[in-house]
Structure 1
């Protein structure tokens, strides 16, 4: 499912325009992004939790030269689905 498909579903189910659905989706995603950017977690009951974790530095190889390199640590977003979401998928 792509963003446009999600906007169409939101517009249909809310009986609104695609423009309003796009603005609602943008606001929703912006809220999640801001919550994660500030180092917090975003929990949506019945859906799951978005959180930021730190990936440790690790070794790797440069793809062109084959030289060993160190990949630095990084903050990465993660999603942990709720039990209800897992059950709905099964």
Structure 2
């Protein structure tokens, strides 16, 4: 499902217009990005939680040449599915 299909699904399930659904989705994305950038955790009960984790610098290997390369440390976004979502998917 891509973004436009998600907007259509939100509109169908919520009774909002597609334009309102698109604004709501973009608002959610913007708010999520801002919170994660500050290091906050976002918990949606029953759905799941988004958090930021720090991945340490490490040494990797180029699979084509076998040469060692340094991989820089970075922050990564993690999502942990909630119990209700896990139950519905399975």
TM-score (norm 2): 0.89
TM-score (norm 1): 0.89
* Unpaired stretches in structure 2, ≥5 consecutive residues: none
Q: Distance in 2 between matches of 1:13 and 1:68?
A: 51
Matched with 2:42 is: 42
Q: Write out the 4+ residue segments of structure 1 that deviate beyond 6 Å after TM superposition.
A: none
1:37 CA displacement: 0.4
Q: Confirm whether residue 76 of structure 1 aligns to residue 76 of structure 2.
A: yes
Matched with 2:27 is: 27
- Which digits, 9 at most, give the CA deviation of each residue in 1:26-58, with x for residues without a partner? 001111111100011000011001000011111
Q: Confirm whether residue 8 of structure 1 aligns to residue 14 of structure 2.
A: no
Q: Distance in 2 between matches of 1:13 and 1:81?
A: 21
* Unpaired stretches in structure 1, ≥5 consecutive residues: none
**CA-based RMSD:** 1.4
